[in-house]
Chains A and B, each alone.
Chain A
């Protein structure tokens, strides 16, 4: 290497170092933001007490921003509350809350499934009766620590090219019959599927559920990681039926039009295969914005928010007097099994059963 080259080489290190220094400076600036923000939010709470500023709120939302974002924005605009949101998977956020423990900065956890809510139930504060009593008993925590916001029904999605509704079984039990061998999709790692199995254990009992799982395994179900690919696979004809939540289909219809060759079927004889689960919210016991947190949960049960869930996300509203989307089978026509969240709490037992029958590793 020539002397000139060496000098050039050294010169080129300088911008690199400058970038590094800048990065460190920026990072320490970002790092410094947090205490400043704490001071600010303390100030905000003081203001709120003086009824000047509505203050802030930190939300952990285990639902996608595409679904939950617009209604949270509406809440912020309406109340002036500065709602900051952390989006993520329900399981990941519940695990994060468990790791954070009593140091969690979160005020509210808005989860997609009862499993996620149940996992952190011990960290939630009791909700006031005025909030709890707006939804039916089956849609809220037995201890009054979380409340359902919208309903999600388990259904069978089927390929309209391969089957018509008359070909479909009355009850999820019948899917374990040999004639369905190789035609079924399921997602044993999915939280909603696991909730359905918990409902089976509550309705059928442990032994019959085990029997069903074993017979299903013998039927060679096609394993999917979650709901969306199952709906796509049913439409593509990769499977004839898939065990999913009801609302994914409507996203496909929105993207691909009515010719999309798959539809939902609610088991006509009901049973645990037609269980309705909730997405719901709870307030952290350690929340420093209790009032705003209650306002948020309250708003999620308001006419505006419930109508939003019914119309935009194709979920079932849980508050009386809201019209469901005309594309949906109305909730009172779904033969929902009579299970209470109390009976649905034992996720651990379900996972153990799934492992013992080989559905989970």
Chain B
């Protein structure tokens, strides 16, 4: 048995009467239920639309081809998730727990591919490593006539992995940073070597964070349109977009609903793997930095690994953007620098991050402290939006917004609401994982000293879960920075962001303009990343 679980069983004794089935306080239940109901609105709308849909839309669902596409989507989601976890877990460990040279720099760089919108990233990568891409041009003198095709499954898998492994990287890194070093030290004292300790202590303790990140990758892969459409891998979301493109809104609603059902299936699977283990430390934990693992001569392969990931996922696309800018300048293209768009992007992403984390807190706290049917349902409901294509959620909110909250229609308030509905899970996962590591015994102590449940949560648990809240907020920030369909459809008139203008420019082959704004987007997004990386560095010192 892993030491983590041992610690868990001890803490269970501390937890005392507060076991399964104890009734959650209303102050926690009400806001959590409100959040759950709010994010369910778009799904409810899709369900109503589907009920009204004619037989033709339902026939579409039962065609054999629909099932083939469904199977393809699932296969892609599984493959991208596995590869993302395989890249992210070692990267997180290297950048948090070792004496890797330039660790702070790698911390920031390895998380950055997340800021590249998939429609742009896929286009850039096809331009470089396509069968007749730039790379082939460089290799032509060596007799390479054509590179192997990246279209279809392989390309979609590669590119979605490179763009989405940071979803796993960020929560795992947060979990590693606040993990109590005592457990690993004990394991070493008991005679296990570094590898055994990693496998039997560290990895089991990281499981909730890896699972939370993997869930995001899987659901994101299901909902992606930009990359799969460019790489010609027909997925479910692609089929939904085709329906919207031909204005078959009923059929699109039916298919979207099916995608939501699929997401619930994946969530159930994840919950099943989660089992009954508990992960919290026996004390406040994590404040004492663990000793950095000395890599020794393993330093070089480790560096090569980090460099390879950064080169493929970050340097290649940004390098091409920079090349487009230079080429555009040389050709005399005009590239207006519009700071207002950058400000709009930063502002709306910041607001959305704060609101989404605030919405995630009650749901996560309920799920962790009062496990039961209600809290489990609420938590799962929170995840569904992430698997839906942005366009489905946005159009649902158009219908509801313009009719029932007219004054808010086409205001930032409704746009931020859409972001919460879409990206709640990004915050939920991180917050949940960090709450899991806080022992309920601390809250018990606060309660014993006369604090109300809310106060105990607020003044004991929340400060300890702060790193998770920050990581979740950063993730939401990045997702909003690059979000496209909801931003295009729901933003106030005249409100343009970097993402919307990159899309417009790239669509009509204004490459140098798209490139300037793409670089700006990455630069602006790296600010919170750098902040997070720096913050953990300072704390560890």
Contact = CB atoms under 8 A, between A and B. Distances in A.
A99 to B, nearest CB: 4
Contact of A226 (B493, B501, B507): B507
Contact of B245 (A91, A96, A236): A91
Contacts of A94: 247
A238 B229 contact: no
Nearest to B230: A225
Contact of A92 (B248, B399, B463, B488): B488
B464 A9 contact: yes
The 10 lowest CB-CB distance pairs between A and B, nearest first, are A9-B463, A1-B284, A251-B509, A64-B504, A236-B132, A225-B229, A99-B398, A351-B246, A88-B488, A361-B239
Given A13-B463, A92-B391, A251-B510, 12 more contacts: A19-B354, A26-B412, A34-B411, A88-B488, A89-B507, A92-B488, A95-B244, A95-B395, A224-B232, A228-B509, A255-B331, A347-B246
A27 B496 CA distance: 17
Contacts of A92: 244, 391, 485, 488-489
Interface string B490-514: 0111101000110011111111110
B394 to A, nearest CB: 8
Contacts of A34: 407-411
A254 B505 contact: no
B245 A189 contact: yes
Contacts of B127: 232
Given A87-B504, A225-B230, A254-B333, A361 B402 contact: no
Given A1-B284, A88-B488, A223-B232, A66 B331 contact: no
Interface string B378-418: 00000000000001000100110011001111111100100
A91 B244 contact: yes
B173 interface: no
A348 interface: yes
Interface in A1-15: 1, 5-6, 9-10, 12-13
Interface in B199-232: 229-230, 232
Contact of A257 (B287, B331, B409, B410): B331
Contacts of A30: 411-413, 492
5 contacts: A9-B463, A27-B416, A93-B489, A115-B246, A233-B132
B57 to A, nearest CB: 12
B496 A189 contact: no
A42 B398 CA distance: 23
Contacts of B411: 30-31, 33-34
B508 A67 contact: yes
Contacts of B350: 23
A231 B132 contact: no
Interface of A: 1, 5-6, 9-10, 12-13, 16, 19-20, 23, 26-28, 30-35, 58, 64-67, 84-89, 91-96, 98-101, 103-105, 115, 119, 189, 191, 194, 222-226, 228-229, 231-233, 236-238, 248, 251-252, 254-257, 347-348, 351, 360-361
Given A66-B505, A91-B244, A91-B247, A236 B230 contact: no
Given A95-B247, A103-B406, A255 B488 contact: no
Given A66-B505, A103-B403, A255 B126 contact: no
B413 A9 contact: no
A257 B511 CA distance: 13
A91 B534 CA distance: 43
Contacts of B463: 6, 9-10, 12-13
Contacts of A191: 245
B276 to A, nearest CB: 27
A84 B496 CA distance: 12
Given A95-B244, A99-B395, A361-B238, A64 B505 contact: yes
Contacts of B500: 87-88
B167 to A, nearest CB: 23
Contacts of A251: 508-510
Contacts of A101: 402
Contacts of B151: 222
A361 B496 contact: no
B104 interface: no
B289 interface: no
Main DSSP-derived SS at the A contact region: helix
Contact of A9 (B239, B466, B508): B466
A351 B241 CA distance: 13
B358 interface: yes
Interface in B108-163: 123, 126-127, 130-133, 151
A23 B354 contact: yes
A252 B509 CA distance: 7
B444 interface: no
B278 interface: no
Given A223-B232, A360-B242, A66 B354 contact: no
A100 to B, nearest CB: 5
Contacts of A58: 493
A238 B132 contact: yes
B69 interface: yes
A56 to B, nearest CB: 10
A229 B462 CA distance: 49
B497 to A, nearest CB: 11
Contacts of B489: 88, 92-93, 96
B160 to A, nearest CB: 15
Contacts of A66: 504-505, 508, 510, 513
A143 B281 CA distance: 72
A13 B511 CA distance: 44
A134 to B, nearest CB: 26
Nearest to B229: A225
Contacts of B181: none
Interface string B62-73: 000110010000
B23 interface: no
Nearest to A26: B351
A237 B242 contact: no
Contacts of B247: 91, 94-95, 98, 115, 119, 347
A87 B459 CA distance: 46
B234 interface: yes
Given A103-B402, A232-B127, A238-B132, A85 B245 contact: no
A224 B133 CA distance: 15
B249 A95 contact: yes
A64 B395 contact: no
B130 A238 contact: yes
A86 B245 contact: no
A194 B202 CA distance: 55
A168 B284 CA distance: 74
Given A87-B488, A92-B485, A347-B247, A361 B234 contact: yes
A105 B410 contact: yes
Nearest to B246: A351
B83 interface: no
Nearest to A5: B287
B509 A65 contact: no
B322 interface: no
B454 interface: no
Contacts of A93: 489
B311 interface: no
B52 to A, nearest CB: 14
Nearest to B493: A84
Contacts of A119: 247
A348 B494 CA distance: 32
A209 to B, nearest CB: 16
A170 to B, nearest CB: 28
